[in-house]
Amino acid sequence: MNQTTHTKSILLPIMEHFYTIQGEGYHQGKAAYFIRLGGCDVGCVWCDVKDSWDANKHPMHNIESLKLKILETPAQIVVITGGEPLMHNLDELTATLQSAGLKTHIETSGAHSLSGKWDWICLSPKKFKAPLPQILPLANELKVVVYNNSDFEWAEKYADLVSPSCNLYLQPEWVKTSEITPLLIEYIKQNPDWQLSLQLHKFIQVP
């Protein structure tokens, strides 16, 4: 008797998923479907999604079902974020999404080993837990959140470690936007390899 075996799809803890526009960095303004995974051990004191930190607080989702939900929208780009998404193995997730013709983007601190296949890697390193050296040359975009003046020197440290083709962004920490943004503007005028990233989605009040 022939027996067909089915591989059980990996389940991932998902805090939220939604179709919106990308509010930050290189792809700002583009339509994108966001998947926010639960779990983070980086622990930024200024994090605006601290509810994502405990993966056990969030329901487990089947990857195939999630793909079907995305395909109900016109989305072409899927952004995997967190939390820290690379705490999970993302090989099956990206394979499933790319098999459906979707582009896969990730936003990560780089503090865990890279898994999955990506069309775009946004590396946002954090002082609280440094990125692994092997992810640095793979980044398409370096996005540094600036909280105080010491962050400029720290940003330059990582700009020297990514590839020459990597896009460089400085972004004010949201609560300090009015204080930090003028400093970023002056810094970028003096150091034009950098670009300004603002959290557009918060200004226009979309997810």
pLDDT in tens, 161-175: 999 999 999 999 999
Residue 5 lies in a domain: no
pLDDT mean across residues, the chain: 93
pLDDT of res. 9: 67
The residue behind tokens 């959290």 is 199
In a domain, 85, yes or no: yes
pLDDT value for 44: 79
**Does the residue 4 lie in any domain?**
no
- Determine, yes or no, domain membership for 134: yes
Q: How confident is the model at residue 4 (pLDDT cuts 50, 70, 90)?
A: very low
- Is 2 contained in some domain? no
Q: Is residue 152 part of a domain?
A: yes
pLDDT tens figures, 68-83:
999 999 999 999 999 9
The structure's pTM equals 0.92
CATH number, domain at 28? Answer: 3.20.20.70
User: Who has greater pLDDT, 201 or 143?
Assistant: 143
Sheet strands (E) in the chain:
11-21, 31-37, 60-62, 77-81, 103-108, 120-123, 141-146, 167-172, 194-196
* Total number of domains in the chain: 1
- The reported pLDDT for the residue numbered 43 is 81
Task: Determine, yes or no, domain membership for 3.
Answer: no
Task: Tell me which of 145 and 47 has the higher pLDDT.
Answer: 145
Residue type, 181: T
Q: Give residue-wise pLDDT tens across range 82-141.
A: 999 999 999 999 999 999 999 999 999 999 999 999 999 999 999 889 999 999 999 999
74: containing domain = 11-203
Residue 1 within any structural domain of the chain: no
Q: Where are the alpha helices (DSSP H) in the chain?
A: 63-70, 91-99, 150-159, 177-190, 200-203
Q: Which residues of 73-100 are buried (b: 16+ CB within 10 A; e: fewer)?
A: eebebbbbbbbbbbbbebebbbebbbee
